[in-house]
Chain A
Amino acid sequence: MDQNRRFSRRALLGAAATVPAAAGLHSLVTRGGLGGEPALAESHAGTGAAAGHAGAHDRFAHATFAPGRTVNHRANGFEPSELLRDFDWGKTRRLASGRLLREWTLIAQDKEIEVAPGVKYEAWTYNGRVPGPTLRAREGEKLRINFVNSSDHPHTIHFHGIHPAAMDGMPGVGERQGGGQIEPGESFAYEFDAEPFGLHLYHCHTAPLAAHIARGLYGAFIVDPKRGRPEADEMVMVMNGFDTNFDLSNEIYAVNSIGFHYVNEPIRVKRDELVRIYLVNALEFDPLNSFHVHANFFQHYPTGTSLEPSEFTDTIVQGQGQRSILELKFPFDGDYMFHAHVSEFAELGWTGFFRVGDPSLLGSTAAAAAYCKLPWGGNGGAV
């Protein structure tokens, strides 16, 4: 039985992009972005990685998911390419005191999501997505997060930041104020001030802790400094993974949940424009995670709590719950890989590409397409 039929969207796109690989001629196929733009085909005769595979039929060129199907983002209710630049500023209103109150509603929901093509996972989510919404505020504002637990399990929201114990989302602490553990069907409003500025995270703190976090209850929490940061193309990357067989180790790794997504759909950025990455490590079970970008260096702002970078580097390591703001510019057009420099994570999904400039104008290979010529290219399905 051909399971490809179930995933017709990709199949159609793939078909549109297909260039039959004639014998002896190696065809590379570059897929367009989300909208299924016309495919660009480039024929390659003995350049770079392609040379070694000339004439080969579906040879292993790199780690990838199996060809012929992709994740159904619509069913998931979120799409990593959109989630990347989706900052949730909430709703604001001026209080009598003159202070600004910023307000969100987060609903804990149990939801089956497709974490890799064909692999379903019973996730626990905030607002139906993993990672949860990227909450963004300005330093000094008063924040209120209305939490509704629609899940079958007790949960909390534990924010990283400076706040009173009752607002800490910690079971056993703050129950008298109605906080602490929030049982199914109950709700609670967390209220605290936005401080300190920087890049933080929020996650469920109900025991067993690892299970509640690993199921998907986490998200980025950004507090901008009062004066703001320089104009940039901003994006959030929550490094995570999924333990699909519940053996306390992850089977799939990713940024923003879907492995290899940004290989398939490279992140488009402009040349010489400042790119700011809010990088959060929400990975459970593995003590360390890392980020590495190819052919470039970035300024590193640990936790984003200082406006002065601490280091100019191309690789950083983060422990569980650690986060960083990274700033860089791409001086050249082309495709540039980024991935965990923990190679195992990279090959289990935590790999992506930045695409700088318009690849159709590039004389060089579209690297992302070359990297993934087999599953996404013309002869992807054949073995």
Chain B
Amino acid sequence: MEAAARAEQPRGGLPAWALGAIPLALIAAAIGAFALLGGPGLGERSGPPVEELSVERTVLRPGTIELTLRNDGPDPVEVAQVAVNDAFVPFGTEGGREVGRLGSTVLRVSYPWIEGEAYEIFILTSSGGTVDAEVPVAAETPAADLDFYGLMALLGIYVGVIPVGLGMLWLPFVRRIDARWIGALIAFTVGLLAFLGIDAGLEGLEIAGEAPAAFGGSALVFAGALSAYLLLAAADTHLRRRREAAVGAGTAAGGLYLALLVALGIGLHNLGEGLAIGSAYASGALALGAFLVVGFALHNTTEGLAIVAPLRGGNGGGADMGVRPLLGRLIGLGLLAGAPAVLGAWIGAAAFDPSLAALLFGVGVGAIARVIVQIAPSMRDGDGRLLHPLSVAGMIAGIAVLYATGLLVSV
């Protein structure tokens, strides 16, 4: 019967795409009519206009403070006056004083700011409302020239690539230790990743708090996380099918493959970390002390250990990915995990956007969650238990190590 019904369908004469398009056209017509008639029946709005401006970016140049504003409220906002540290100041705009919904403008305020001082700015709108902005520590915003990108790359290499690479030097150790400990080591990695995931999530939510609500705010973190998780899961299914076809069924997730996943998750996390470092540096909030770099290095060295932990090889050794990983592959893993810090630092320093940052942090969280799900089975003990004393201890150790090294760095 169903088949018969389906067969009848073309008799109506309308192709399927037209049936799909008709509701769309009606919706468009309804919206058009509604807008044309000025929202019939809704009457005048009640209450004063809602003015919401968020400061997306603050750039300091000698004698000027530049604020990029975004209107994320429902009504247009007109900037009337600007005061810095309780003094009205002259300013010009790039994009006008009136900012429409989701529109943006740049205010260029003339002010003899002094390096190292803090500034409170209030923007007075035409209705007398105020929008506050803050310069916590005044420092000239670095010009985005070649030197600057070079510095950011160096920073990314210091905090991302080198420590991860150093951490991976534990590989020989990992390959020698007793098979019983491998579960604990994987558990340690899971603990590390869990901490990184929580950290990235919290940081993402914090940054989302500064982002215009109209673009989603904290929802972006969750959207990013969910999308990343799903994409990685899909990629995993795809790769596994290909590998099974090539190698033959029955092979467990290989060590190198797990290492690749861990490296990817950590890489996405480091992208967010680079973003935070780059934007903090650009805004002058980050003092590039040796202490901070050393702290990051220690912090991220443990990430290198996490990558090589799955490379222990199968219980018998040999049957797994077969051979010892090639040096080239190891370097590739290290770069996958560490190099995104460079990319993140560039993006963060040159074009920091809180909405984008929130999304990227979310992506990091999703990726890490997916990686944890994928490598967790490797911590099973002989009886197939996931949460045996050794694995629990390993996970807690991983969390503790990251917490402790994290104390060294607070951007």
Q: Give the interface of A toward B (CB within 8 A).
A: 1-3, 56, 58-60, 63-67, 115-121, 242, 244-245, 247, 251-252, 259-260, 344, 347-349, 374-375, 380-383
Could you tell me the distance in whole angstroms from the C-beta of B73 to the nearest C-beta in chain A?
15
* Contact assessment for A66 and B81 in the assembled complex, using a CB-CB cutoff below 8 Å: yes
Please tell me which stretch of B20-28, B86-94, B138-146, B313-321 contacts chain A, meaning at least 4 of its Cβ atoms lie within 8 angstroms of it: B86-94
Min C-beta distance of A254 to chain B, whole Å: 11
Q: What is the minimal beta-carbon distance from A350 to any residue of chain B, in angstroms?
A: 11
Show 20 residue pairs from A and B whose CB-CB distance is below 8 angstroms, ordered by the A residue: A1-B98, A2-B96, A58-B90, A59-B63, A60-B63, A60-B89, A63-B89, A66-B89, A118-B97, A119-B126, A244-B124, A245-B130, A251-B83, A251-B124, A251-B128, A252-B124, A347-B87, A348-B87, A375-B90, A383-B108
A58 to B112, CA, bound (A): 11
B127 on interface, CB distance cutoff 8 Å? yes
| Residues of A with C-beta under 8 A to B63 | 56, 59-60
- Give the distance in Å from the alpha carbon of A247 to the alpha carbon of B122 in the complex: 13
| Contact, CB under 8 Å: B111 / A60 | yes
With A3-B96, A3-B97 as given contacts, are A121 and B89 in contact (CB-CB < 8 Å)? no
With a cutoff of 8 Å between Cβ atoms, the chain A residues found around residue B97 in the complex are 1, 3, 118
Within the complex, the shortest CB–CB distance from B18 to chain A, in Å, comes to 43
Residues in B with CB closer than 8 Å to A121 are 128
Contact of B81 among A2, A119, A247, A374 (CB under 8 A): A119
Question: What chain A residues lie within 8 Å of B111 (beta carbons)?
Answer: 60
Of chain B, the residue at the smallest CB distance from A344 is: B86
- Chain A hits for B124, CB < 8 A: 116, 119, 244, 251-252
Given contacts A66-B89, A67-B90, 7 further A-B contacts (CB under 8 A): A2-B96, A64-B88, A65-B88, A66-B80, A119-B126, A251-B124, A259-B88
Report the minimum CB–CB distance from A285 to chain B (whole Å): 14
Which residues of the other chain, A, contact B86 by a CB distance below 8 angstroms?
Answer: 344, 347-348
Beta-carbon contact of B91 and A383 below 8 Å: yes
Given contacts A382-B92, A383-B92, contact A118 B80 (CB under 8 A): yes
B-side contacts of A245, CB under 8 Å: 128-130
Q: Which of B80-126 contact A (CB under 8 A)?
A: 80-83, 86-93, 96-98, 108, 110-112, 122, 124-126
Decide if B88 touches A63 in the complex (CB within 8 Å).
yes
Q: How many of chain B's residues have a CB under 8 angstroms from any CB in A?
A: 30
Q: B78 interface residue, CB < 8 Å from A?
A: yes
Q: Are A348 and B128 in contact, with the CB atoms below 8 A?
A: no
- Known A1-B98, A66-B82; judge A120-B89 contact (CB<8 A): no
How far is it, in angstroms, between the C-alpha of A99 and the C-alpha of B330 when the chains are bound? 107
Q: Which residue of A lies closest to B66 (CB)?
A: A383
For the complex of A and B, list the 6 residue pairs with the smallest distance between their C-beta atoms, beginning with the closest.
A383-B92, A244-B128, A118-B80, A347-B87, A63-B87, A60-B110
Tell me the smallest distance from the CB of B71 to a CB of chain A, in Å.
14
Query: A28 vs B141: C-alpha distance in the bound complex, in angstroms?
Result: 32
B148 to A: closest C-beta gap in Å: 24
Shortest Cβ distance from residue B86 to the other chain A in the assembled complex, whole angstroms = 5
Distance of A119 Cα from B78 Cα, bound (Å) = 9
How far apart sit A344 and B124, CA to CA, in the bound complex (Å)? 16
Are B128 and A117 neighbours in the complex by a CB distance under 8 Å?
no
Bound-state CA distance A374–B122 (Å) is 21
Min CB–CB distance A183 → chain B (angstroms):
25
Assuming A1-B98, A120-B127, A251-B124, is B108 touching A64 (CB within 8 A)?
Answer: no
The answer to whether A242 and B128 touch across the interface, beta carbons within 8 angstroms, is yes
Task: Compute how far the CA of A200 lies from the CA of B130 in the bound complex, rounded to whole angstroms.
Answer: 34
Main secondary structure of the interface of A (DSSP, over half): loop
| Separation of A115 and B78 alpha carbons in the complex (Å) | 15
Q: Once the chains are docked, how many angstroms separate the CA of A116 from the CA of B79?
A: 12
Contacts of A117 in B (CB 8 A): 80-81
In the assembled complex, the CB of A346 is this many whole angstroms from the nearest CB of chain B, namely: 8
Query: For A65, what are the chain B residues with a Cβ–Cβ distance below 8 Å?
Result: 81, 88, 90
List chain B residues, Cβ under 8 A from A56.
63
Q: Which residues of A contact B108 (CB under 8 A)?
A: 383
Chain B positions within 8 Å of A118 at CB level = 78, 80-81, 97, 126
Is the CB–CB distance between A251 and B130 below 8 Å?
A: yes
Q: In the complex, what residues of A have CB within 8 A of residue B130's CB?
A: 244-245, 247, 251
Q: Are the C-beta atoms of B80 and A251 separated by less than 8 Å?
A: no
**Identity of the chain B residue whose Cβ is nearest the Cβ of A243 in the assembled complex:** B128
Alpha-carbon gap, A126 to B210, bound state (A): 43
Whether A3 lies near B98 (C-beta < 8 A) is yes
| Cross-chain contact A374 with B126 (CB below 8 angstroms) | no
* In the complex, chain B residues whose CB is within 8 Å of the CB of A348: 83, 86-88
Interchain CB contact under 8 A, B78 and A3: yes
Q: Which of A60, A348, A380 has most chain B Cβ within 10 Å?
A: A60
Nearest chain B CB to A139 CB, angstrom units: 41
A383 and B96: CB pair below 8 A? Answer: no
Rounded to whole angstroms, the CA-CA distance of A244 and B129 in the bound complex is: 6
- In the complex, are the beta carbons of B98 and A64 less than 8 A apart? no
Give the shortest distance, in Å, between B20 (CB) and chain A (any CB). 40
- For residue A1, give the distance in angstroms from its CB to the closest CB of chain B: 5
Partner of A64, one of B89, B112, B128: B89
* Cα distance, A117 to B88, chains bound together (Å): 12
What A residues does B125 contact at CB under 8 A? 119
Give 1 or 0 for each of B275-318: 1 = CB within 8 Å of chain A CB.
00000000000000000000000000000000000000000000
CA distance A47 to B97 in the complex (A): 35
B312 smallest CB distance to A (angstroms): 62
Chain B residues closer than 8 Å to A64, beta-carbon distance:
88-90
Q: In the bound complex, do residue A381 and residue B81 qualify as a contact, i.e. CB atoms below 8 Å apart?
A: no
- Contact between A251 and B122, CB atoms less than 8 A apart: yes
Interface set, chain B 36-88, CB cutoff 8 A to A:
63-64, 78, 80-83, 86-88
CA distance in complex: A66, B125 (Å): 12
What residues of A have a CB within 8 angstroms of the CB of B87 in the complex? 63, 344, 347-348
In the complex, what residues of A have CB within 8 A of residue B89's CB? 60, 63-64, 66
Assembly CA distance A118 to B98 (angstroms):
11
In the complex, residue of chain B having the shortest beta-carbon distance to the beta carbon of A62:
B87
Q: Whole-angstrom distance from the CB of B382 to the nearest CB of chain A?
A: 66
Which residue among A64, A245, A349 has the maximum number of chain B CB atoms within 10 Å of its CB?
A245
B residues in contact with A1, CB < 8 Å: 96-98
The residue on B at minimum CB distance from A116 is B81
Q: A243 to nearest B CB, angstroms? A: 8
Task: Across the interface, name the chain B residue whose C-beta is closest to A58.
Answer: B110
